[in-house]
Structure 1
Amino acid sequence: MKIIGTVHDTETKKSIADVLVSVRDENIETVTDKDGNFTISVPDGVLILHFSKEGYQSKLYTLGRGKIQKINIELKNRTTHVEEVVIRSQKRKYRNKDNPAVALIRKVIENKGKNRFSSNQSVSFEEYEKIQFSLSNKYEKLLNNRLVKKYPFLKENIDTTKISGKAILPLYMEEMLSDNFHKFSPDKSKKTIKGEKKVTLSEDFFDNAGIGTYLKHIYQKIDIYDNNINLLTNQFLSPIAESAPTFYKFYIRDTVEVRDDKMINLSFVPRNKSDFLFSGNLLVSLDGSYAVQSVEMRINKNTNVNWVKEMDISQDFEKNENGKYQLIKSKISADFGLSKSSDGGIYGERTLTYKNYTVDKPFDSSVFSEDRTEVDGLAKVQDSMFWEKNRHENITDSEKKVYANIDKLQNTKSFKRTMNIVTLLFAGYLKASDYFEIGPFNTFYGFNPVEGFRLRFGGRTTQHFSKNIYLESYAAYGFKDERWKYYFGGTYSFSGKNRFTFPSKGINVSYQQDTKIPGQELQFIQEDNFLLSFKRGVNDKWLYNSIYRLEYYHEFLNHISYKIGYKNWKQMAAGGLVFSDDTTGTNISDVTTSEIYTEFRWAPHEEFYQGKLYRLPLPNRHPVFTVRAAMGMNNFLKGDHNYKKINVNIYKRFYLSQLGFSDVVIEGGYLFGKVPYPLLDIHRANQTYSYQLQSYNLMNFLEFVSDHYASIQYEHTFNGFIFNKIPLLKKLKFREYISFKMLYGGLRDENTPTGNQNGIMKFPTDEYGQTTTYSLEKEPYMEGSVGIGNIFKFFRVDLVRRFSYLDNPNVSKSGIRVRFKFDF
């Protein structure tokens, strides 16, 4: 479509030179000549031209449908003629009362429900999604980048049109075209992917599914009508939230006309620039609906977020046949860097466009009969003709080249060597061959009171060895106890993919002979990590374990999963720990259990970063339910005890808008049967100097045991809400944490050593014969903490205080704990 036109001044009628004429997000632009004339060609489907020049009010113009159009545009000069200047000694304060901008935004808020799809409606549409990740820098510096200089063919991929004053080098690109169906009552949705194209990174170093999931988690879909917007793992308050007038300042800028509808341009800024808020502009319809026609907003530079130099969000809406505005485009772009003043960084962008809306047309019931997302058999093999025809918007030449150039880059030997080093530094594994890698290196050296100096060596197979079979093994030796420890495990996947590719299904088989601290349960970290060798207080009660395990696991697309397994576990006392009968004092050589167990887990809408051989959950607002049950069998494969166990755990994150978020864990368990204390619930303790979320950080190892218990753990992250209000502290961008943990439990008489029951194992004692393991009959165990996080962007320091059982021997009433934490 060809557009020919002239631009004049509204008042003087003189032509205006050097006016920028552009199409938003299409990299199509021109400027008027000395006579105000211009010519521009735009793709079919483009509806709006943008006119801007310094000193003039910008203007949006809605195009017609002809192939060639001639238009005349008038721009209004921003110059204001002042007849009289009055100087006042006192500035006029911003107020909500009698403020027309606030009155307007309250109208927008009041009518939000009318401008969204209602609960009794259904809608379908076609969605096009594009995600891009690139290196960014000034053009000259990007040309001198080590990667570009080493691989000159990447120069042709540099794009100078995305960011003003900067260039980007695309390294990752993903496109998706899908048909979507949504029914609001009951809430059901279905996505059918018709086309999917992405840069395929080497599986030796990257997990493609994990990268895509993590990028979408950072650039989550935005609904401006929601009160809160999840972004960068944080929650920002929408400018049209119910509480927006409390946190934002609003100003009416001007009135514009879009598609024959009058709109008010309403700008907004945070009252506190460090809070999780936006700055930007809203176009609000004056047709009585008070609907949002478009929004452009950005994260304020002083907002308490890490690594983000700039982040911009824009959304455009179009009036449908029912007179309501429906979303037609949403774009999030961000420039990341080590500091906000640095030139170099990473540029990321996610664009979503929508077409072919149908509203209130009934769906066939079969639409929702299968999984929420399905992939057409041809989706991943669609050719270039398909994408040229079906993309909602054109992509740049550099974006088109990224697929081939990155594939070429990954096949170079020098790049593979570099990635091997990066994998060693960040994952702790070193590639020994195509089939095996050595690690993790942070476990190769350690020390403890039982083993003394400990050396370990191990590794695991890669996906080149087999996509169905995964093997892992290690051997370790303690120079004090002079004993070998070892582990060998294998997984066979029935899904034809590796163990961690969702949804997974397979069998695990393993045997382990090693040491363990009773009551130490760690998440996402090896127990023999070198840094965990440093512990406080007395730490001499250990176990030698010999464990055989056979387990079947099965995950479903709806995020329901279960496990069924068998475990044969032989425990022998080590260090200062002694197994002895409470009545006779006779030493007991070991405790052996033979048990079957099962676990049921439901994590609706769960998101996680899925690596090659690990999986890390990405918290969201949905709860996670886990139920575990086990049954011990006496006289079966050397099992010594009959018992039954059940445990229930519920985790939920609550987002509280500007106040941050709270994590709540509720847990309870019950054991049926008479068992020695190593088979009771030994509550999670922590004697390291690291702060552990799921453990009791001032409880000693093996300090408390129960055969029935209930607990609640609460932690709140303020995200700087308090410190942002303190002038001297807000520049440091610290974040505040508080936590409280309470555990209540007990022991039935049959499991309590009293000296008059046969077969009851005596509780552990210290070197003076004083008991060091207790039940929780007296009162709940309680501890709390206050913490400061985001120190140097990585560290959190907590002051932890213990509130009960303060007279127990060798306990710490308070302490300082440190946690390494990467956050945006």
Structure 2
Amino acid sequence: MTIRALAIRYIYLLFLISCLTPAVFGQHRIQGVVVDEDSGNKLMGVSVRVLGSNTGASTDSIGRFVLLLDKSYAQVELTSIGYATKVLRVSEQEPNLISLRTEGTLIDGITIRSNRRYSNKDNPAVELIDSVIRYKSQNRLSGNARIQFEQYDKIKIGIVDPPKLLKRTLAMVNFPTDYMDSLTLPGKKLLGVYQEENLAKVYSQRNPSRSKRRIEHQIKTEFDQRYVNNPNIQSYINYVLQPIDIYDESIFMLDKLILSPIANSGKTFYKYFVIDTVKNEYGEFLELEFVPRNDKDLLFRGKLQVALDGSYAVKRAELHLGTSANINWISSVDLELNYSPTADGVMLLDNTHVGVSFGSENNQAMYAERMSIHCDYDLDSPIDNSVFGGPPIEVIPNVSAFIPNRPIPLTVFERNTYENINRLKENAAFRSTLAFGYLIAQGYYNLNEFELGPLEYTYSRNNIEGNRIRFGGRTTPLLSEKMYLEGYVAYGTRDNDLKYFLRTAVSLDGGNIATFPAHYIEGTIQHDILEPGRQPSFLRGDSFFESFRSNRPTKWFMTDAYRLGHVVEFGNHFSIATAFSHIRRRTIGDFRLISSGDPTLAVRDINTNDAEVILRWAPYERFYYRNLTRSTIIERHPVFTIQYNKGLKGFLDAPYDYDMIKASVSRRLFLDQFGFADITVTGGKIWGVLPYTLLHMPNVRQQELDGRHEIRYDLMNSMEFAADQYVKFGFQHALNGFIFNKIPLLRRLKLREIWGAQMFYGRMSPQNDPALSDRVLEFDLDGDGLPITRSQNGKPYWEASAGIDNILRVLRVEYVRRLTHRDFPNISQDRYRVSLSLNF
């Protein structure tokens, strides 16, 4: 993780822990504990409902429940599958120790047994799981020909039992902390800092396969947009706490994909046990318990209730992750899914609940919760094709900030959360804290309509400019959401030359430039030194930290670039970008370009006219963005890009006629217990006679459209290779402790294995190779008189890395080695790389 990414996480925590839930008066706390009548064991997951109202709760892992009511007593109904329903009066003054009587009926043909030595063979639990897997396709929601329903989601995040220091800090801004949410986590107080509600219509169709979630009502907390990108917070929280489906092969949770207990390969990693058989008004069910074969592996433990009517559908699922699993910063993860049968006996998802406690097992710091409720199912009505237009998840224009007929009423604490955040935004001390945090995290100092930065580019150093001082900035949406400006001026103390950059974009559809799907034109002017092969950009690789990398550039062009572009994005995540560029390059410093046909002829200027078209398709893409800078949320879906460039000669002193084409694809593969792998493949070809500085140079770091297609070569020198036809391959694999978890002395350290490899294979056509052609330029020489650049012509470049991640939960150590082209002088054969790495 980069320092900037680390700082972003810190500032998120900074503004999250600065919020407050106001005082609530007149509430009565009624609590109790539910136990089994025969054994006295405490019962988890018992439903406790107040009769005559929508108020209720469920018992936690120690059988405890808490009700917060406006009176000191109530009639409650307690229900749990396998137990007789019980109705009784509870009050604030009584301890309320409640016992439930078992009411299960044994199902003929099922034998419950317990073996000391576990085996899949002759195991009725495994036989039942085989049936569940066999019938998954017809039981899952997407297995219906068409379906539509209404979905309500509520997401909230809070600080658990805020410490005294935080309370004193909040008291300084006149926010009381004496009365907080004590209902969400029984026995603990929760200080709410984020809340979001969505009411959406969901449509799904099997043939052709497509889906749509249309959010028609939405309420969410928002902070000052000058310092906090509220859509990014919402995107990140929705990404981490995604909706879940027990029928998926793996369940996405906390940036990880965890194998489902009913996955096709589940028997390899889980143990299954029959624990109960039940008959009730919903039918006959068998209850199973499942546990990981290795408790350090990232796997769930929990229970399943499976219908025994021949459908083998899941009626209820409980899934839990604890501190024994190789996961960071989490004390527990609890998931619950409940299904209800239709009149035809089809099980449909009724509700899901996800609860995540952040911190250690004995010291919870924060708690995040997502509750989803599905209702008003329609499996018969046709769905108009127009419904599926646009992105798969869409917030309608002018979405209503009102939730009608909530299926579960908000508690008094939740009802006031939105007002509390709005009140906090007006506090001067809080705004100052956000401004400082924004400077550290994003590198910009906000001046309302403008912001100055980025901070890390203020000073850098290189061999041409010496000390480089730069001042820059960009506009914010407070100036205009339909127009955007960014730019800088820079000065080198050695070359005494003033450089500058200006970029602007204007919306063409009347909407926000930063909102997907966007449609805008853009223009760029740049006068600066750029390394050969680099395209004009605001962040040109001259940050303070880049000044110290071992393979930093030493050869430069003084570049004057002019660019006019057009970008249009469509709702299906297909986009078209076109541009025309005129770039004038002049060699500076000790950079020498000599004609391969006449060694007395030096070429100083290389000018080009370039027309460009980029086609990009990223199905189901989601991203974070700030102004026009976007970063894709990396999920399982691939990203495809095809780029074509045409050189136009004959005007503006541009003598080069060429054709270039490049295609890239990248994807993250989730490999269940083997972690995940990122794969990127890029290939390209150039037609035309060109100097090598206009060919492809693999180690020149370009500002990609989304960052997904970048392949970095740590041990390749700048400008080391050039090619007019090439293939690049990048592979990075994080095993998430798959091997270390099985080594007794290492498993407690929760270490994780990582490895990767990068390849570049390029060829230079005879007409572009200075050793074979007299129409191009000779490769420049280093201080020892040896060529800096070379053509491969047959032997690919490989480098590989291997390392250990999650050292003390914050460090990653890698060993990187160059595997080929090792017999050249002035190259690095290997290196060690230490970096911060914070992840779940």
TM surpasses 0.5? yes
Q: 1:234 is matched with which residue? A: 256
Query: CA deviation digits over 1:242-275, x for unaligned, max 9?
Result: 2222211223323344435233332222121221
What's the CA shift for 1:397? 0.9
Larger deviation, residues 276-285 vs 403-412: 276-285
TM-score between both structures, scaled by the size of structure 2: 0.84
State the Cα deviation string for residues 557-614 of structure 1 (Å, max 9, x = none): 1111111111111222234321221232322222111111121111010111233553
Question: Unaligned 5+ residue runs, structure 1?
Answer: 1-6, 32-37, 43-47, 64-71, 79-90
Output one character per residue of 1:372-412: Cα deviation in whole Å (capped at 9) or x when no partner: 45555663244xxxx3x521111111111011111111012
Cα distance in 2, alignment partners of residues 40 and 472 from structure 1: 52
The equivalent residue for 2:644 is 629
Shift of 1:222: 0.9
What letter is aligned with 1:772? I
Give the one of 292, 300, 305 matched to 2:327.
Answer: 305
Matches within 5 A, 1:32-71: 50=78, 59=83, 61=85
The code of the aligned residue for 1:399 comes to E
The answer for unaligned runs of 5 or more in structure 2 is 1-33, 60-65, 71-75, 88-97, 105-114, 703-708
- In the alignment, is the contact (CA less than 8 A) between 1:521 and 1:695 conserved in 2? no
1:326 is paired with a residue whose SS is strand
1:203-239 CA distances to partner (integer Å, 9 max, x unpaired)?
Answer: 1122222222211111112110111111111110111
Matches within 5 A, 1:235-254: 235-254=257-276
The answer to whether the 8 A contact 1:207-1:612 is kept is no
Distance change >3 Å, CA 252–CA 673, structure 1 → 2:
same
Partner of 1:515: 529
How big is the shift at 1:537? 5.9
Residue correspondence of structure 1 range 449-528 to structure 2 within 5 A? 449-518=463-532, 527-528=541-542
Contact residue 533 and residue 695 of structure 2 kept, 8 A: no
Report whether the alignment pairs 1:670 with 2:685: yes
Which residue of 1 is the match for residue 31 of structure 2? none
SS at match of 2:749: coil
Matched, 1:703 2:720: yes
Contact 1:59 1:256 in 2 (8 A): no
Report the counterpart of residue 172 of structure 1 in structure 2.
194
The residue type paired with residue 166 of structure 1 is K
Alignment of 1:400-799 (within 5 A): 400-431=415-446, 433-518=447-532, 527-536=541-550, 539-585=553-599, 586-612=601-627, 614-684=629-699, 694-754=711-771, 757=774, 759-799=775-815
User: Is the deviation greater in 259-268 or in 464-473?
Assistant: 259-268
CA distance in 2, matches of 1:231, 1:647: 35
Determine if contact 1:60/1:256 at 8 Å carries over to the other structure. no
Aligned-residue CA RMSD (Å) = 3.4
- 1:576–1:439 distance in 2 versus 1, CA, 3 Å: same
Whole-angstrom CA distance in 1 between matches of 2:68 and 2:309:
31
Q: Which residue of 2 aligns with 1:351?
A: 371
CA deviations on 1:442-472 (whole Å, 9 max, x unpaired) are 1111212222222222222222222222222
Q: Which residue, 127, 152, 165 being the options, matches 1:128?
A: 152
* Structure 2 equivalent of residue 324 of structure 1: 346
Q: Deviations over 1:507-538 (max 9, x none)?
A: 22121122233357999976112111113268
Matched, 1:813 2:833: no
Larger deviation, residues 454-463 vs 355-364: 355-364
The whole-number CA distance in structure 1 between the counterparts of 2:369 and 2:67 is 30
Residues 26 and 680 (structure 1), Cα distance of their counterparts in 2 relative to 1, 3 Å cut:
farther
Instruction: Say if 1:770 and 1:155 are closer, same or farther in 2 by CA, change over 3 A.
Output: same
**Deviates further, 254-263 or 659-668:** 254-263
2:29 is aligned to none
SS in 2 for 1:399: helix
The 8 Å contact of residues 438 and 459 in structure 1, kept in 2 or not, is answered as yes
Q: Confirm or deny: 8 A CA contact 1:154 1:405 kept in the other structure.
A: no
Give 1:61 deviation, angstroms: 3.9
Task: Please tell me whether residue 75 in structure 1 is matched to residue 101 in structure 2.
Answer: yes
2:382 matched to which residue of 1?
Answer: 362
Which amino acid is 2:240 matched to?
A: I
Q: Residues of 2 paired with 1:120 and 1:705: CA distance?
A: 54
| Equivalent position of 2:133 in the other structure | 109
Go from structure 1 to structure 2 and tell me whether the alpha carbon gap of 1:784 and 1:521 turns closer, same or farther (over 3 Å shift).
farther
Q: 372-381 vs 160-169, which deviates more?
A: 372-381
Q: Which has the higher contact order (CA 8 A, sep 6+)?
A: 2
Cα distance in 2 for partners of 1:265, 1:551 equals 61
Q: 1:216 to 1:591 in 2, by over 3 A?
A: same
Name the CA distance, whole Å, in 2 between partners of 1:543 and 1:261: 77
Q: Which amino acid aligns with 1:209?
A: P
CA–CA distance in 1 between the matches of 2:221 and 2:570?
Answer: 27
Whether the aligned pair in 2 keeps the contact of 1:540 and 1:575 (CA below 8 Å) is: no
TM-score by length of 1: 0.86
Contact 1:195/1:378, CA 8 A, preserved across alignment: no
CA distance in 2, matches of 1:581, 1:533: 32
Q: Cα distance, 1:368 vs. partner?
A: 3.6
Stretch of structure 1 that moved more, 302-311 or 291-300: 302-311
- For 2:830, the aligned partner's letter is S
SS in 1 for 2:793: coil
The amino acid of 1:771's aligned partner reads P
Deviation at 1:649, TM superposition (A): 0.7
Alignment check: 8 A CA contact 2:551 2:716 kept: no
Structure-to-structure mapping, 1:263-278, within 5 angstroms: 263-278=285-300
Query: Within 1, Cα distance between the matches of 2:783 and 2:630?
Result: 43
Task: Output the amino acid matched with 1:802.
Answer: R
Is the alpha carbon distance of 1:133 and 1:453 closer, same or farther for their aligned partners in structure 2, counting shifts above 3 Å? same
Q: Per the alignment, do residues 392 and 142 of structure 1 end up closer, same or farther by CA in structure 2, a change over 3 Å counting?
A: farther
* 8 A Cα contact 1:538 1:810, kept in partner: no
Contact 1:472 1:489 in 2 (8 A): yes
* Displacement after TM superposition at 1:706 (Å): 0.7
1:792–1:617 CA distance, 2 compared to 1 (3 A): farther
The range that moved more, 127-136 or 371-380, is 371-380
- Farther-moved stretch of structure 1 (590-599 vs 499-508): 499-508
Partner SS for 1:727: coil
Q: How many residues were matched structurally?
A: 765
User: For the residues of structure 2 that align with 1:746 and 1:29, how far apart are their CA atoms?
Assistant: 68
Separation (CA, whole Å) in 2 of partners of 1:233 and 1:251: 29
Matched, 1:342 2:356: no
1:510 match: secondary structure: strand
The code of the aligned residue for 1:173 comes to: Q
Aligned to 1:85: none
Cα shift at 1:315: 0.5
**Candidates 315, 332, 336, aligned match of 1:314:** 336
Give the 3 Å change call, closer, same or farther, for CA 245–291 of structure 1 in structure 2. Answer: same
Instruction: State the alpha-carbon separation in 2 of the partners of residues 491 and 686 from structure 1.
Output: 24
Q: What amino acid sits opposite 1:180 in the alignment?
A: V
Taking structure 1 as reference, are residues 152 and 317 closer, same or farther at Cα in structure 2, changes over 3 Å only?
farther
Q: Give the CA deviation at 1:23.
A: 3.9
- 8 A contact 2:132–2:312 mirrored in 1: yes
What is the distance in 2 between the residues matched to 1:538 and 1:618? Answer: 29
Conserved in 2, the CA contact under 8 Å of 1:142 and 1:167?
A: no
C-alpha contact (below 8 Å) 1:62/1:258 kept by paired residues = no
Structure 2 distance, partners of 1:717, 1:458, is 37
Query: Structure 1 residues 617-626 or 365-374, which shifts more?
Result: 365-374
CA gap 1:508/1:258 in 2 versus in 1, 3 angstroms: farther
Distance 1:553 1:365, change over 3 A: closer
Structure-2 residue corresponding to 1:88: none
